[in-house]
Structure 1
Amino acid sequence: MLHHAISALTNILRPDLDLSKSRLETLCMIVIGMVSARSVNLGHLACERPGSALTSSTYRRLQRFFQHVHLDEDWSLPLLVRLLGLNKSWLLALDRTNWQIGKTEVNFLVLAVVTRRFRVPLVWSLIEGRGCSDTDMRIALMERYLANFPATTIRLLLADREFVGAGWMEFLSKNNIPFAIRVRGNLRITTEDGHDLTLRARLRLARRGRAFRARLGTREDAAASNTPLLNVAAKPLKGEWLIVVTNVAPRTALETYRKRWAIECLFGDAKTRGLNLEDTRLTDPRKLALLMSLVALALAWAGRAAADLLGKRAPPRKSHGHYARSWFRTGFDHIRSRLRADPLDAIASWQRINPEARKPCGVV
């Protein structure tokens, strides 16, 4: 029965993707198959193909898709936005996820949208090796986002302690991007009145408050560069401080920063709790980027299905207050069930896409 869903989804996406009929059907087969099989592994996806075709033939067809299909870098972004129904402004979260395939390191830098219902990657890039991203890579990622959306769409950019640096924050400030980035207590700062000390030492002066303004770096660094004067806000946790550097109101930054955890949940959705992204055997950067685009579409599909299913309601909660099933898992399980009972109903959420208003965004 899955062939009905593949055919219907192919018709929905045809005006948006400049692919041949066979390639587009394969793309839809992969998106539907990875949800049905709970895996991105091509061997598992080949077993999900309906019809009498040999599994080995389908496997080779999937291999050829990743070998020969070349789409624009951000080809999936318009589809994601329309499927999620994003408008006005939203939170963004920046983080990395990495794993090994044999001796090869797969290391993604991901910029994701975070709302009450959705946590979905929007743009990403691959980092060579297992190290952290540098300032140039983060700026390049944000510039790709800004090429598609104005800065006014960013309610707040959230990032963990890995994503610090005076040059990076100067770029964000110059481009009017509001942010709240956690920093370590041993980071040296120069306060507004010229004192050069670590954040931890500054916070020991409790009588002077836990919200203040400072520049990142030593007094010499601050004098030699155009480092912006930023707000610093902190609150004590068990055995440590939560310290956030921001260019918005300190209280707003602290209250909103806790939503950064959604991107960690997103990685769980893409991996063991959902699509098992680490099952892939692909190692070529171009093929991995294409795979991530398809994973993003599947994650957005699950989120939209949950929103359509629940309407204005929220998933039921357990006695401890947490959801019995997340928005993602609610939609994910609903899609998998409907794919077996009523495949056309399973892809009903894709009808939100308006094909007449879009131009093709990729080539073979």
Structure 2
Amino acid sequence: MAEVLFGILQAESTLHRKIALHIDREATPASITRMVARTFHETNLTPQDVCDVLLPLLPSGKLTFVMDRTNWKFGSHDFNLLVLGVSLGGVVLPLTWKVLPHGGNSDMRGRMLLVGLLLKRLPARRWAVLIADREFIGQEWFSFLRDRKIKRCIRIRQNTLLDDEPARNAFEDLKPGEVRSVFEQVWIYGSPMQVVATLSPRGERVLVASDLSVWNTLTTYRLRWNIECTFSAMKTRGLNLEQTHMTQPDRLSRLFGLLSLALAWMVRIGEWRAEQQPIPTKKHARPAISRASYGRELLCAALRWGKTTFYTHFALLKSPFPTPERRKTQPVRY
């Protein structure tokens, strides 16, 4: 499995034949390719195994969690993964996931299953908030989170009822860049929550329901973008998850688990490297390179050229991430 992981990092691909080119064995390319295939067919790598590796890397204190889906097509086959992870280092590190047997939205039971599994490893007192997009709404789901004392920061649809009125009616005259909230908590899907709205520069109305203060709601919700950075690093702009030809759910789950370990390692090295050599900032005030890519540069160079720095990078898998900087927050009670 380690050989395959190193091969994926260097090949930036999940195709077996490309991974095989980066595995040094006294065997034919066809034989090494079959070995790569057997790794995913026979190795029992589960989300719980990945969680066991990643949990010691998490900083102490409360953590921000994000749930979302990633999907793509290969021919007529739909690939669809529901992912729950922790926001660190500008990405979301997947801690548990489920391969959905269909295209389209996830179901309520699948979401509850992932949250329940993670609560067994990280109790609710470690959850600062759970962030999610408009897909993840519904009275049963909102009540499930509230009953487990998990604070919510979830975007809602414009036709969602605030008390008895559609949300769009409360924010009809929003201007681009303006932030507005309802005067006090309103009932949303059976729960009293705060609602904050803004209008994007493109004119799209963004409505977020949360258990946080008005001050913190939109700032927290922006962290949802970190999971898009995760999918980007795992897919086209990184390790090319969508190149895989594997369609069996258990094999796809193992591949995603291996990529999750690779991502965590890359980001951890990127964090360590940024402490010594800060990432340059471009004119638009964004980093010139992601932490994941910043770390992968060093890791792949060490793997490709057999550098002794590899052992330093490997040791970082036992070193927790630095604690994220906390913005000023306000206490919240149910």
Shared fold (TM-score greater than 0.5)?
A: yes
Q: Which of 255, 277, 297 is matched with 2:241 structurally? A: 277
Q: CA deviation at 1:203?
A: 2.5
The normalised TM-score by structure 1 is 0.81
| Equivalent residue, structure 2, for 1:203 | 171
**Using a 3 Å threshold, how does the CA distance of structure 1 residues 349 and 154 change in structure 2: closer, same or farther?**
farther
The 1:243/1:209 distance shift into structure 2, 3 A limit, reads closer
User: Equivalences for 1:99-118 in 2 at 5 Å?
Assistant: 99-118=72-91
C-alpha spacing 1:117/1:268, structure 2 compared with 1 (3 Å) = closer
1:10-52: per-residue Cα shift (whole Å, max 9, x none)?
Answer: xxxxxxxxxxxxxxxxx00111110011111111111111133
Q: Give the partner amino acid of 1:98.
A: N
Where does structure 2 lack aligned partners over 5 or more consecutive residues? 175-179, 319-334
Q: Which residue identity does 1:103 align to in structure 2? A: S
Deviation per CA, 1:124-182: give whole Å up to 9, x if none: 10112111011111111100110111112222211111111111111111111112000
Q: Say whether 1:134 aligns with 2:107.
A: yes
Match of 2:323 in 1: none
Q: Map of 1:320-359 to 2, 5 A cutoff?
A: 320-353=284-317
- Which aligned runs of 4 or more in structure 1 are off by greater than 6 angstroms? none
SS of match in other structure, 2:103: coil
User: CA RMSD, aligned part only?
Assistant: 2.1
Retained in 2: the 8 A contact 1:212–1:233?
no
Report Cα offsets for 1:252-279 as digits up to 9, x if no partner.
1111111111111110000111100011
Relative to structure 1, the CA distance from residue 169 to residue 318 in structure 2 (aligned partners, 3 Å threshold; closer, same or farther) is same
Cα distance in 1 for partners of 2:74, 2:52 equals 30
1:179 equivalent to 2:142? Answer no
The 3 A distance-change label for structure 1 pair 268 and 135 is same
Q: Per-residue deviation at 1:343? A: 4.1
**Does the aligned pair in 2 maintain the 1:189–1:199 contact within 8 Å?**
yes
**Secondary structure of the residue that 1:75 maps to in structure 2?**
helix
Q: How many residues align?
A: 313
Equivalent in 179, 183, 186 of residue 214 of structure 1? 186
Is the aligned partner of 1:266 residue 2:230?
Answer: yes
Per-residue CA distance 1:318-354 (angstroms, 9 max, x = gap): 1221111111110111211222233442353332456
Which has the higher Rg, Structure 1 or Structure 2? 1
Partner of 2:17: 43
Asked if 1 retains the 8 angstrom alpha-carbon contact of 2:89 and 2:267, the reply is no
Q: Residues 106-138 of structure 1, C-alpha deviation per residue, up to 9 Å, x if partnerless?
A: 100011211245432111101121110111111
Counterpart of 2:214 in structure 1 is: 250
d(CA) in 2 for partners of 1:189, 1:319:
41
Equivalent position of 1:149 in the other structure:
122
Offset at residue 205 of structure 1 (A): 8.5
Bigger drift between 128-137 and 286-295 goes to 128-137
Structure 2 counterpart of 1:16 = none
Normalised TM-score (structure 2): 0.88
The 2-side partners of 1:125 and 1:336 are apart by 29
CA distance in 2 between partners of 1:67 and 1:273 (Å): 26
Following the alignment from structure 1 to structure 2, what is the Cα–Cα distance between the partners of residues 210 and 237?
18
* CA-CA distance at 1:102 after TM superposition: 2.1
Name the % identity: 30
Task: Select between 104-113 and 342-351 the one with higher mean Cα deviation.
Answer: 342-351
Give the unaligned 5+ runs of structure 1.
1-26, 191-195, 218-226, 355-364
SS in 2 for 1:255: helix
1:59 CA drift (Å): 1.2
Cα drift, residue 90 of structure 1 = 1.8
Distance 1:118 1:312 in 2: 20
User: Aligned equivalents of 1:338 and 1:346: distance in 2?
Assistant: 5
Deviation of the 1:87 alpha carbon:
2.3
Distance in 2 of aligned mates of 1:64 and 1:209 = 54
Kindly provide the amino acid, as one letter, of the partner of residue 64 in structure 1.
Answer: R
In 2: Cα distance, 1:127 partner to 1:299 partner: 22
Instruction: Choose between structure 1 and 2 for higher RCO, CA contacts under 8 A separated by at least 6 residues.
Output: 1
Aligned to 2:105, what secondary structure does the other structure show?
A: coil
